[in-house]
Structures are given as C-alpha cells and as structure tokens.
Structure 1
Amino acid sequence: MELGRLEYLQALVTEFQVTDSSEAKEQVLANLANFAYDPKNYEYLRQLQVLDLFLDMLTEDNETLVEFAIGGLCNLCLDKTNKDYILEANGVEPIINCLSSSNEETVMSAVTTLMYLTTPQSCQQTTALPVVECMLRFSLSASRRLSNLATVFLEDYCTPLQVEEAQNLSKHTAVGIPLPKD
C-alpha cells in the first residue's frame, strides 16, 4: 500500500506541473493540501518537494491556489522537520503576506501557520511589529473566528510589550494591511 501512496502523490504532483487548466491545478492542490493532514504522508510530500510547491503558490494571483497552498502548509508545519524546512526556506514572509488576502480562509490559515511556526528562534519574524499590529486589527474583526484566533495569537504568542508597542504604533500610522471581507 505504501508504494501506492507515493506513486499516487507523484501522479498528483506531475498532473499539477503539466496541466494548463487552472481548474485542474486548483483541484490537484486541494488534494495535496488534504493529504498534508496525514502524518503518514509527510515523508512522501517532502520527497516530492510539495512544501516548495506550496510555498511557490503563495505568490500566485489565483486566490484559490493561494488558499489551498497556505492550507497545505498549515497542515504540514506541526511536524518539526517540515516546520524547520519552511523556516529555512524563508517561508515566513510569504505567509505573512497572506494576511492581506481578502479570502478569510487564507487569512485564518496564515494566522494559524504563523502560530505553528513560532519558535524561540523564529518569533522575531512571526511576531514582528507589523504582524502584531495586523493581529490587533483582526481582533476587532466582525468575523468571530478571525477575531478569536487573532486574540489567541496576541495573548499566547506576543509579549505585552509587543502588543503595547503595536497599539501605540497604530495610533500614529495609517493602517496598512486591510481586513478580509466578511
């Protein structure tokens, strides 16, 4: 069975690479993101460079591809090897850029992914001032899901000093990252 799993995942990756249909690409990326839920698939997904594929898709103009890619990364980054890979591949910045998406699912996955990627070594990046400022705005969102998740981020991943600094900054600057549409 295990060989079949690798071959199936390889077929998905190949299909993604060769198809010109954006609908087919979306479907394949959604399937790969779903396979990223299962720790049994982590080794295969690393072997097939699916983490790189997900990271590459974060900068696409197609919002659906971005949504599935950040969802896949979110599923994968609880694993230490995957987390280290994403951090070493400079994945935090494109993930932070997903916070400005108008798609709430993309934003939710990006916030959750940043939480999972936060380590003593990466927290300077994952809880940088613009991120904290963004979470303060999200905590005021009309979306209960987003506001609750942002509040957890602020309470569990940021220091009171970081939050205070971001609050002070927000008072003096124009708001940068827009809220997702409800």
Structure 2
Amino acid sequence: MFSSKEYLEKKTGPYGIGRCSYLQSLVTEYQDGDSEDGKKQILANLANFAYDPINYEYFRKLNILDLFLDALEENDDKLVEFAIGGLCNACLDKQNKDVILKNSGIQVVIKCLSSPNEETVLSAITTLMFLVTTQSKPEITCLPVVECMLRFAEAQNKRLSNLANVFLQDYCSKEQVQAAQEIHQQLISQNALQQQSKDYPP
C-alpha cells in the first residue's frame, strides 16, 4: 500500500529518523560497505522502496537512480537483478524516466538482455517498454533489440515469450519486425551451417 507524506510524518514523528534520512543511511552503507552480501541486501531494500511513489523525490535527491544504473555494470548477477528491478519499479514516473534517459540508461538496460538471470531479463524488457518516449523509441527499438525480442518470443519460458511478443506488437513497426526477422533467419542459417561443419568435418 502506498504511503502519503502525512502518514509517514505521523508514523515517524517529529523526532523519528524520517524516510529521507533512512534512505540516505542505506545509500551510505552501500557505498562504504565491504560485504557483498550486505550490498545485495541493501540494493534489494532500495529496489523495494522504488515501488512507492512517495519515495521518488528522495530517490532523485539522493541519486539512488544513478546508484541503480551504476550497479548494472557490476559482475554480480544478483546486484544487477536488484538494480534493474529498482529501475523497473521507478521508471514509470516521468521525472525518474527523464533522469534515467539523461544518464544514458537505455544502453546499460539493453546490456541486461543478455543476462543468464531470467528475472533480470524480464525486468530489462519491462523497463525498456516503460522508457519509451517519442525521442527514445528509435534507440529502444533498434534492430539488435528487435532481433533479440524475436528470439525471446520463441522461448519455451512463457513469461519471457509473452513479454517479448508484447514488446514486438506494441512498440515495433511491421517494417522493423520484418527487417529483424531477416537477420534472425540469417543467424539461424549460419548456426545450422556451423553445427553441420562440426558434425561432418572435412
């Protein structure tokens, strides 16, 4: 359930730690901490706070969206999963979306599509859809991304295939899909030839 500022003030009281101070303490602990498990727990907590729009003003003030974007470059799959989850939760808000787009967020989110972590990929696809604007759409629906969605659409995983199909149907033109299908078929043919050469060496 979302909280109002009045509710939070009533809950914390005049001498309570306050939501902004608490989030600041989490950010500081994340940046200064040495424990990988501790960082994962903190990032997971911050991602959960991203569900509630009452926190978005604090997120921007404390640069938590930038923290999420930086964490997408980490080598730890769980850190990336929590970071993209946080962005996915927060990016429907227009101001948050602007922050992500202005900080070159699209390209680091696109990189998440190649993650072996299913939750990361699902969050990345959803985030890309939420980040679509008139200006950002060409970058989000570039040929490599559309071809990637075609592959996901054929996946046995129903969550993945359904989400990829929504992306293709709602955000891509027929011309984009057709061009990606041609590339997709070429890649399939190349892979088949490579496999054939392995099976029947000269």
- Bin of the TM-score, shorter chain as denominator length: over 0.9
1:125 alignment partner, one of 139, 142, 145 = 139
1:96 alignment partner, one of 110, 119, 128 = 110
The answer for unaligned runs of 5 or more in structure 2 is 1-7, 10-16, 192-202
Aligned to 1:152: 166
Distance in 1 of aligned mates of 2:173 and 2:24 = 43
Distance in 1 of aligned mates of 2:183 and 2:156 = 22
Distance in 1 of aligned mates of 2:162 and 2:35 = 37
Aligned to 2:155: 141
Q: Does 1:83 align with 2:97?
A: yes
Aligned to 2:197: none
Matches within 5 A, 1:19-168: 19-168=33-182
Q: 1:41-88: per-residue Cα shift (whole Å, max 9, x none)? A: 000011010011000000100000000000000011000011111111
Identity of aligned residues (%): 62
The answer for unaligned runs of 5 or more in structure 1 is 176-182
Amino acid of the structure 2 residue aligned with 1:6? C
Q: CA RMSD in A?
A: 1.1
Q: Does 1:12 align with 2:26?
A: yes
Superposition deviation, residue 120 in structure 1? 1.0
Amino acid of the structure 2 residue aligned with 1:90? S
The structure with more radius of gyration: 2
What is the number of residues matched between the two proteins? Answer: 175
Distance in 2 of aligned mates of 1:143 and 1:171 = 21
Distance in 1 of aligned mates of 2:41 and 2:156 = 30
Distance in 1 of aligned mates of 2:177 and 2:88 = 24
Aligned to 1:179: none
TM-score normalised to the size of structure 1? 0.94
